[in-house]
Amino acid sequence: MPKFAANLTMLFTEHPFLDRFEQAAQAGFDAVEFLFPYAYDPGEIKHRLDAHGLTLILHNLPAGHWDDGERGIACHPDRVGEFRAGVEKAIDYAQALGVRQLNCLVGKAPADVAADVLRRTVVENLRFAAARLKQAGLRLLIEPINTHDIPGFYLNRTAQAAGLLDEVGADNAYIQYDIYHAQRMEGELAATMAKYLPRIGHIQLADNPGRNEPGTGEIHYPFLFAHLDRIGYDGWIGCEYKPATTTAAGLGWRAALVR
């Protein structure tokens, strides 16, 4: 049976961020994830987690100037120092919040940088991040993102992510497999998840088109949930979708699609 974590960046957005923890618990979630904690005091977030009996599954490394459209800086050769400082900040938050894995959004490839320089920058940054996270007892995740939603994103396919991890060579580095992004870029969801299962550290979901809740689009989620059980995936699945109306109104998919 799948274990679902509410993504508080996407769900319960009718409420201020710190109030979403209570909303998630009331909706029956035992775990949450979100993009970034850095605008908040970690003690306040930890209080909300503890008060509502929630486990934090995941948050991201700092990803540059998000409000200005940046989506990560791990592929930017002129910002290695900023990336490494962000790794240290993320570890501080992770240790305060009790989260065991951090996701790195590698970012949109900067213009006029040679392909070999981009790859070398990503690999060296990921190698640094994985080593520092291992010292802290944490796992590093990297996430392929579709280039329809984020044109120019450097990492966009599962095989590409596996190749980067092979070059990084860290035993605590895994793929974050987002079903929505994978459907838009490559399809073959069941076969790909089975092939790369040992490399997948976390899964996220949304339907396509629209990135709304499961059951609103073309992805056959009852089959995929049963498939994940069959192949032995026992991790969490983050619910990173945009509710078609309100979060509460759309939560019936869990009972309708999980058998």
Catalytic residues: 143, 240
Q: Largest Cα–Cα distance in the chain?
A: 50
In this structure, what token pair is assigned to residue 159? 């095989």
Write the DSSP symbol of residue 153: B
Nearest to 81 by CA among 100, 95, 62, 66: 62
CB 99 within 8 A of CB 131: no
CB 32 within 8 A of CB 6: yes
CB 186 within 8 A of CB 208: no
CB 21 within 8 A of CB 49: yes
In this structure, what token pair is assigned to residue 48? 């909300």
CB 70 within 8 A of CB 108: yes
CB 72 within 8 A of CB 108: yes
- What's the one-letter identity of residue 258? V
